[in-house]
Structure 1
């Protein structure tokens, strides 16, 4: 009887354990984002006055370039899950990501030097180190996405937990000592995690599998589409960082990084759902609403915790107003993450690219106009929120048209007849 009771208890607890395991990637990403916020906090404590403004704006500018230069490698692997067992295919995807993000980092550092005014060798060395952190973290997530495809969420999450813990310790050392050397050391745990992730994944590669071609253009199709989608949201802050003085752009830089840190929630869930979205399109409308509601809850939590964040990060004057405007758009931003995954699942990447290109061009033009006329962080934040809402309408329309076409095609197709010989 005791053995039977234990088996029944184990059977009851199995669904809960399975759900907890699937939540681990989101929780580990949350820990990573918290450590990244501590990095911004360390910058605001290590540097004072104008140097702090310059470093905050420069770091945000480089982060924006990283997002724009993402090759789409992780989405490509998740959609083409059969490649996850092929070492050469995964390695080629990593090379493509390294090339594109490396080019973006070089462009970001160059703009930080020319436009933001990062001229001191010490500041430049720290920026380069922080750039290496972003490159290594991105490559590590691509490697570990193989675990998501294999259905091993814990293997995906554990290295990120370790990196987040070590980075948190390093950033706390920087905050309490005020020494910039700790900021420079931030790239070491990220690089070690990348090496471990590759070793852990490589042990399970199929050595006997033949080489699989991974066309550069196929990967970039995801990346270009994603980069254009990012351009609409990144162009206001990028142009503000270049055009406005660091003291004016600093509130936007801090508020943007806080709001952006919350995006790990929809991006992680959307990535986990991507392999299954195509088989459950009927639930899409409900899932869009769930993502939007989640965005509202996260935005409310950020606003309630703003005083704690103001202690953690030294807020430049005017940051709270900018933060409020940005978090009001979080429901739309969260919904957009799922809608973007949905466009991949229903294979309308080209249509999405065309639509988002038009929106991105409009955002760039309006960003220049707002920065040159109003010239405040608040006006740029309002523009970023309006553009986010416009993208929601655009993506929802594309998915709706595609779904309508599917339904009409299924209704117009006559049922197959049984042939009786």
Structure 2
């Protein structure tokens, strides 16, 4: 059998980002960095340096998703379209009183993380601990772990675990999430922590478009007013020069296209990340913790309006582009009408000149008949004189007088025949042009 060249890659794609198996207790740190292609290459070299510092064999190939296990310490690398995510898992912990005293990056060599190429967009510590305590009893303890910030609580998977977070940055510059495991297996904990880290990263990636939307929104209001003024100027009978309107319209159109080029991808990406966040939230199957917002309620209350703002600005740009197209059509129609009026005046002027030329032509034809006849009679007179001098006897004056009307009549008939021939050619050309025009209209 002949196999598709990408068949193996397509099979492996479904298994390219497997869920981790996370025992409890555990400490994880998830860091997502936005980076370009050069920074991605630098990150791989920097990662190899980490292996050397840990006394391990550095990786040879830069892969899309890979995990390295060093016993109680794990490193997971995931490459996405716009960012790279590192997950550091520290299993050498116990259920101590402060779940964030030890984190996933506690085992990293000093200074390595500070030199990691790229711009950090998401950094969160996730603490997984076993707990059989009631939520109300745990609440006073939990507040201390989040520096007194307002908590967001969730009880996913029919109460098999309890999640606490604030979706804020703490004094160490990281976000925090606390997972209190009651009855979840290691595989279930792995899926849960992966979804929580993705929610934290995707929500921030979705919000990147919001500052852009806020930046361009005032400019769009100004341009919206300018387009309305241009439309009014175009519809008025003030006789304003179309070139001035066209300059203003071109300037606005160039700005709109520039904004669209800068925002289309960002707004589309924000919408895609938002959908991923909603999907991950639905997979949690949250139950409410009394007196606290769930993560789904928090996201739908704050994240969804931000994404709708981005969508609104994107739709306004598309609407303005369509309005500019309609104004441009009006401009073209107005210019075409002006050109048609000028052509009509030009045709009328040409018609008048043609009539004058025709009258002049008739005059010239009459003069031509007289001139040709005069020279023809002169030639005939020379012939008659030659014949008379050779000995022929006849009345040369009578013959010359009789030849005058014959010559004049012949010249006049020849001139009229030539004139009719050119008229016939003109009619044939006109009929051919009319036939071509009818064929173009029928197509």
TM-score scaled by length of structure 2: 0.29
Higher-Rg structure is 2
Which structure carries more helix by proportion? 1
Which structure carries more strand by proportion? 2
TM-score scaled by length of structure 1: 0.30
